[in-house]
Every structure is written in C-alpha cells, then in structure tokens.
Amino acid sequence: MVDLARRHAEVADEVEDRVLQVLRSGRWVGGPVVAEAEARLAGWLSRQGAVGVASGTDALMLALQAVGIRPGDEVIVPALTFFATAGAVAAVGATPVIADVGEDGLLDPTAAGALISPRTRAVIPVHLFGNRAEDPGLGLTVIDDAAQAIGTTPPPSIGRLTAVSAYPTKSWGAAGDAGFVAGDEPELLEAVRCLASHGQRGAPHHHEAHDGQVGRASRLDAIQAAVLLGHADQVEARIDRRRRLADRYDAGLPASIRPLPRQHGSSVHQYCVLASDRARVVAALDEAG
C-alpha cells in the first residue's frame, strides 16, 4: 500500500547522511540520535517523554508490564484492530477480552463495560485508521494503541502510556521495525526503559526490574532512529496529502459505497469504505488494475 522506495527517494540525501553519521560514530545502541527521536515522538503526542523500543508490538507488551499486568489478568481490547493489540496481551501471560466496536470502528465503551470481571485490570483503546478513540471511562488502567494515529489532531493520547509503531508503512516509518512508549509519568517511563534493556538502570548493572518482571532486549536501534529523523519533517505534508485524497474519494464514491466515519483531524492512515457487496467491489477493483 506504500511505495517505500519512492518515499525514501524524497528524503534520500537526508536519511542516508544521518545513517552514515551514526555508523561512523560507533554509537549504535542508544545515544543522542535515539534521544532526539524520542523527543520528537513525545512532542507529536503532547507527552512529557517517550522511550524508543524495538517495535510497536514490544511497545504494547512493555507498557502492559510497566503498569503491572500479570499472568491471569484480563485486558479488554477492541474486536477491530491489528492482531498485535490482543497478541501483546497474550504474550505477557494475560487474557485478551474482545469487545465490540461502534460504526466508526472504535471501541464501544458500553460493550467493553459489560465485559468487566473481577480479573479485569486494563483496557486498550485503539486509534484506528487515524481516528481518535476516547477514554472509555471504565475505571480501568488505559493503555492506548496509537500505531495508526501519528499526525492525528488533537494528539491521540488518552492512557497512562501510549504505544506507537514506526513500522515502515506508517506515516512516520523506519527502515525496519521500531516503536515507542510515550507517557507523562517519569517513573513509569523509566520502568519501560529498564524492562526494554534487560532490567538495566543507568550504569551497566543489572537489577530486578519493576516488581520482579523480567526484562529483555527491546531498544530502538540508533540507525532506525536516524532514518526516522530523516523522515520527520515530511510527515505533516504526507498527512495533508492523505486528507486531500480522502476528500476526493468521499466526493467520488457512488451511493452504494460510503467511507467509514472519519473524524475532523484524522490522519487517514487508511481509507476504509463500507460496501453492501464487498466481493463485487473487490472484483471490480482487481479488474481495473
């Protein structure tokens, strides 16, 4: 869905220069380039800070661990989302509980509330297709999944922690896997950073990490951070173009096909439609190339 070679060509000099600087520096894990990318992400989400991690899936898993989700806990996730939202819950030993979504594809708070049990500890609203999900107001810890919402306005940050993917096809994408966890509580962000580095805090000494949770290697690679910084100044223009194209699609669609409800300020990460005869539409698009 994204011509990555063409996207790279638009910023090739900037990206390749930044990558070469990292390679020549010999500082390939952590360092100022990663810190700069973290600050850029935190600014986009209007958060106090961010931690670069290895992927969007790891961002979800580390956020869940940092807020204290344990094996046996239940976490509510929406029925319409990428697999990783529920997969991350299962990967930390908790149980994903699937709640229905509304006509806009976003988590339905009423449906989610009906699923709360004594074991329910958290909920993960997903800002899907560039639309902002709201805090469902269930009295649970909220971790929001903003993998598809960079550039959405106002910024889609509603949880104690926000998980972000910088997979190549995202509006702000790396040249491989990358992700971030953003938030406003320094202690919580430090717990994420510690868990993402084998429980290591500060100097290279290993400690028991955050209430006995086991850490692992999930750091944002310095080269990927350099790639992201090389693309950062193009993100706003990319999203503006997506919005213009979406307006053209809206105007040109026949009555039998309508766009999924889209909020003002959506980053239009994906343009999705509702059709009464999906198979016929797919066949017609295939025939048209």
Per-residue pLDDT of the chain (289 residues; tens, 9 = 90+): 789 999 999 999 999 999 999 999 999 999 999 999 999 999 999 999 999 999 999 999 999 999 999 999 999 999 999 999 999 999 999 999 999 999 999 999 999 999 999 999 999 999 999 999 999 999 999 999 999 999 999 998 899 999 999 999 999 999 999 999 999 999 999 999 999 998 877 666 665 555 667 888 999 999 999 999 999 999 999 999 999 999 999 999 998 899 999 999 999 999 999 998 999 999 999 999 9
Q: What is the pLDDT of residues 128-158, one digit of tens each?
A: 999 999 999 999 999 999 999 999 999 988 9
182: number of Cβ within 10 Å: 29
Rounded CA gap, 109 and 85, in Å? 17
186 and 49 in contact (C-beta within 8 Å)? yes
**β-bridge mates for residue 142, sequence order:** 123
pTM: 0.94
Tokens 């669609």 belong to residue: 253
Tell me the DSSP string of the chain: ---HHHHHHHTHHHHHHHHHHHHHHT--BSSHHHHHHHHHHHHHTT-SEEEEES-HHHHHHHHHHHTT--TT-EEEEESSS-HHHHHHHHHTT-EEEEE-B-TTSSB-HHHHHTT--TTEEEE--B-GGGPPPPP--SSSEEEEE-TT-TT-SS----SSEEEEE--TTSSS--SS--EEEEES-HHHHHHHHHHTBTTB-SSS-B--BTTTB---B-BPBHHHHHHHHHHHTTHHHHHHHHHHHHHHHHHH--TTEEEPP--TT---SS--EEESSHHHHHHHHHHT-
Position 212 scores a pLDDT of 66
Position 203 scores a pLDDT of 62
Rounded CA gap, 149 and 3, in Å? 19
Ramachandran area for residue 268 (φ above 0: left; ψ -120 to 50: alpha; else beta): left
Strand bridging mode 74-78 / 95-99: parallel
Instruction: Give percent of the chain with pLDDT exceeding 90.
Output: 91
Q: What is the pLDDT of residues 54-108, one digit of tens each?
A: 999 999 999 999 999 999 999 999 999 999 999 999 999 999 999 999 999 999 9
Rounded CA gap, 141 and 132, in Å? 18
Rounded to 10 deg, the angle between the 222-232 and 32-44 helix axes is 50
289: number of Cβ within 10 Å: 4
